[in-house]
Each structure stands twice: as C-alpha cells, then as structure tokens.
Amino acid sequence: MQHIDLIIIGGGPIGIACGLEAKKKGIDYLIIEKGPIVNSLFNYPMNMQFFSSSEKLEIDEIPFISKEAKPKRNEALEYYRRIVTSNQLNINLFEKVLSVEKETGNFKIKTEKETYTSQYVVVATGFYDIANTIEVPGEDLSKVAHYYKDPHFYSMQKLAVIGASNSAVDAALECYRKGADVTMIVRGPEIGPRVKYWVKPDIENRIDEGSVKAFFNTTVKEIKDDSLVLNTHEGEKTIENDYVLALTGYKPNFNFLKKMGIQLSEDGKFYPQYNEETMETNVKDLYLAGVICGGMDTHLWFIENSRVHAKMILSDIESKVKK
Ligand SMILES: Cc1cc2nc3c(=O)[nH]c(=O)nc-3n(C[C@H](O)[C@H](O)[C@H](O)COP(=O)(O)OP(=O)(O)OC[C@H]3O[C@@H](n4cnc5c(N)ncnc54)[C@H](O)[C@@H]3O)c2cc1C
C-alpha cells in the first residue's frame, strides 16, 4: 500500500491548483483523476467560450493568453495541460477513486487500480459527472442526451432543447445557426435570469421572430421515437421530434461525500459542511475545493472564485505539517 502525505481527488482546474501549491510548498502529493487532464472541460461543448476572461481562469498567476478576451475550450485545455506537463505535476490519469475511509489517523483511499494511505485528502471532484434527469418515460432512448457536444450532428433535424439556462441557450442558438429546427421546452415563464447578459437578447430575439420555437410554462410528459408529448399551459400537445438535448443541469456526487463522513445540509441543497477559512470539512484533515463546495447550487462556485481554495487549503496543511 503506497503512502502519500496528500491525495487530491480530481484533476480539474482546482485540483491542479492544489497540486501546484503542494509542490511549491514541498508537500508530498498525488492528484488522482478518473479521466484525462481537466476531464470536465474536455467534455464541455466543442465550441464553448468561457464567460470569464482568461486572466480570471489563471492559477498561481501563470499567464493565460487567449485570442479573444474570453477563451475557448481548446485554449483552456491547452493552458491547464501545459501547467500539468511543464510543472511535472504528480497526477495519475484514468484512475477513479472509489472510496475514502479514515482509519487510525490515516485515510485509506481505494481506486480502481490501487489502495493508498494518506494523512490529508482534498476532494475536488466537481459537479459535471451526474446530470439532473427529468424522470419521464422515454428519457433512456438513444436520441436523448444530457451532454451537448457539437451542433453539426443536429443539422436538418427537429431538435428539442429542454432547459433555459446558459447551457440550454448556447446549444439552442448554436444548433439553430447550423441548420437545426430548434424548439425550446422551458418549465418557467421566461429564459433563465442567469443567462449571460450578452447572450440573453440574442435568444429572446430569435424566439420573438420565430427562428427558434419555444414553449414556456411547459414540461415534457413523454419522449417517443419520433415525437414529444408536452404538458403546456393550454393542455397536452404533441410535437414532431428527432433529438432531445435535456440540459437541465448537473449535480455533485453527494453519496461519495456522505460515505466519507462529510455532513450535508438537510434543506434539499446538500451544502457540505466546511470551515470557510481553511476549507477543512467536519472530518479532520479532509478538505473540499472548487465547485463541489456549493451543493445543489452549482453556480455558487466556479473556477474564477474557487481558485483561491488551493492556497487556503495548502497553507492550513503546511501549518499542521510544521507543528
Ligand atoms: C458550459 C460551462 C461553462 C463554464 N464557464 C465558466 C467560466 O467562464 N468561468 C468559470 O469560472 N467557470 C465556468 N464554468 C464552471 C467551471 O467549469 C467549473 O466551476 C470548474 O470546472 C470547477 O473546477 P473543479 O476543479 O472544481 O471541478 P471540475 O472541473 O469538474 O473537475 C473535477 C474533476 O474531478 C474528476 N473526478 C470526479 N470524480 C472523481 C473520482 N471519483 N475519482 C477521480 N477523479 C474524479 C472529474 O473527472 C473532473 O476532472 C463553466 C461550466 C460549464 C458547464
């Protein structure tokens, strides 16, 4: 069984920031990532552009140069990949962590490949692995996707986009512009209030002019091979349909946190308990970093405002190591 002083679970931007900070402080560490480097970003839509400008996505003040002020996914992959490779960070890729247990002072971390022990653990596993499902018949059909990748696929197809937040709006606009016949299905009365202020008028104008169709105050009742049954405010309605993008958000793996002993709030938001100055959870020497800290409110933390977690956590660990 290999012993490493600090195990960081998740090789997203924040896990990488933690690894970098540990390396600078001379702390023995290993990042364990279940996919490629920055797996979530790798799985984002092919042409996505960040809402943050590049300097706000920088970690450890390493300059992030992008063509436009707000970088594209490819540029972010390049940036974070170069940080890992140039700094020769200790990272194991394609190794999923299955469990973390505390045993006589140390943690025992089981992965698909190995069992490790460590003194400290940082959980930076993000929220992008589990999609919020809509729980209707037909959701398991192969024409339904909860992740959007490339608009080309939907060209000349009748595409329903479920949801009205940033991901849904970006996908609807992009697919419409690549020749898809797009219908948005929106549970509320309007496009989401958190949609980027420079994108909102675009989708609202496309809906007003009829280029993108939209049903507001509407939910999906059933997904069939060639149609969708909707519950609209005017009653049940069936529309023709080839593909469905159910972009209704994602959530962290709460069971994973619970099994480690981390307390979650009982208000349906599942906010994990942690010290806001050190990021240490109610389990001693177990820390949280990044978007995972927000519970169901996955918009609370993002790269821009959670990159500071790395310095907070590592200075706390350093102070314990020095004692
Ligand atoms: C479309 C889109 C656009 C966005 N734009 C912006 C933006 O402009 N600005 C901004 O600041 N934020 C943006 N965000 C949010 C931002 O991407 C996330 O907040 C960010 O990825 C959080 O980083 P993280 O390291 O906490 O989590 P993640 O990037 O999700 O990384 C978590 C990592 O943990 C790995 N992992 C999970 N479980 C395990 C396991 N059991 N074992 C091993 N590894 C595991 C995952 O594979 C993943 O690589 C955007 C998000 C989306 C979806």
Q: Which residues surround ligand 1 with Cβ inside 6 Å?
A: 9-15, 32-35, 38-40, 44, 48, 50-52, 96-97, 124-126, 128-129, 167, 290-291, 302-304
CA angle at residue 63 from 59 to 67, to 5 degrees?
115
Within 10 Å of residue 301's Cβ, how many Cβ atoms? 21
> Residue 322: its pLDDT value, please?
84
The mean pLDDT value for 111-130 works out to 97
The mean pLDDT of 239-261, rounded to a whole number, is 97
Distance, CA of 155 to CA of 170 (rounded, Å)? 15
Alpha-carbon span 191 to 19, nearest angstrom:
39
Q: Is the pLDDT of residue 25 over 90?
A: yes
Query: What is the pLDDT averaged over residues 291-313?
Result: 96
- Looking only at Cα atoms, what is the longest distance across the chain? 68
Please state the φ and ψ torsions of residue 227, each to the nearest 5 degrees.
-155, 170
Residue 103 pLDDT: 84
Task: Name the band, by pLDDT with cuts 50, 70 and 90, for residue 200.
Answer: very high
Q: Which amino acid is at 208?
A: D
Give me the chain's average pLDDT, please: 97
Three-state SS at 186: coil
List the 106-111 sheet strands across, edge first: 2-3, 115-118, 106-111, 97-103
Region of 59 please: left (phi>0), alpha (psi -120 to 50) or beta: beta
How large is the angle between the packed helices 73-86 and 13-24, nearest 10 degrees?
20
Question: What confidence score (pLDDT) does residue 4 get?
Answer: 98
Model confidence at 105: pLDDT above 90: no
For position 1, what pLDDT does the model report?
A: 87
Q: What is the pLDDT of residue 323?
A: 80
How do residues 60-86 score in pLDDT, each as one tens digit?
999 999 999 999 999 999 999 999 999
Of the chain, the percentage scoring pLDDT greater than 70 comes to 100
What is the percent of the chain where pLDDT is above 90?
Answer: 98
Name the residue at shortest CA distance from atom 18 of ligand 1.
302
Summarised one tens digit per residue, pLDDT across range 142-187 is 999 999 999 999 999 999 999 999 999 999 999 999 999 999 999 9
Cα torsion through 288, 290, 291, 293, rounded to 10: 30
With tokens 């890729």, the residue in question is 93
Is pLDDT of 116 > 90? yes
Across the beta sheet with 235-240, the strand order is 219-223, 227-232, 235-240
Ligand 1 pocket test: pick from 258, 303, 304, 309 the residue with the most ligand atoms within 8 Å of its Cβ. Answer: 303
Q: Are strands 29-32 and 91-92 parallel, antiparallel or unpaired?
A: parallel
Distance 221 CA to ligand 1 centre (A): 31
| 226 — pLDDT class (breaks 50, 70, 90) | very high
To 5 degrees, how large is the angle CA 113–CA 117–CA 120? 120
Calculate how far, in angstroms, residue 127's C-alpha sits from the geometric centre of ligand 1. 6
**Average pLDDT score over residue span 294-316:** 96
How far apart (Å, rounded) are the C-alpha atoms in residues 9 and 16? 10
pLDDT for 60: 94
| Complete edge-to-edge strand list for the sheet that includes strand 91-92 | 91-92, 29-32, 6-9, 120-123, 286-288
| Alpha carbon nearest to ligand 1 atom 41, residue | 97
**For residue 17, which atom of ligand 1 is closest to its CA?**
25
- Domains in the chain and their CATH numbers? 2-130+250-322 (3.50.50.60), 133-246 (3.50.50.60)
Q: Which residue has the higher pLDDT, 6 or 105?
A: 6
Q: What is the mean pLDDT of residues 271-299?
A: 97
For the segment 217-224, the average pLDDT, to the nearest whole number, is 98
Helices (H), 34-188: 39-42, 73-86, 166-177
Which pLDDT band holds residue 104 (cuts at 50, 70, 90)?
A: confident
Between CA 262 and CA 19 the distance in angstroms is 22
Gyration radius of the chain's alpha carbons: 21
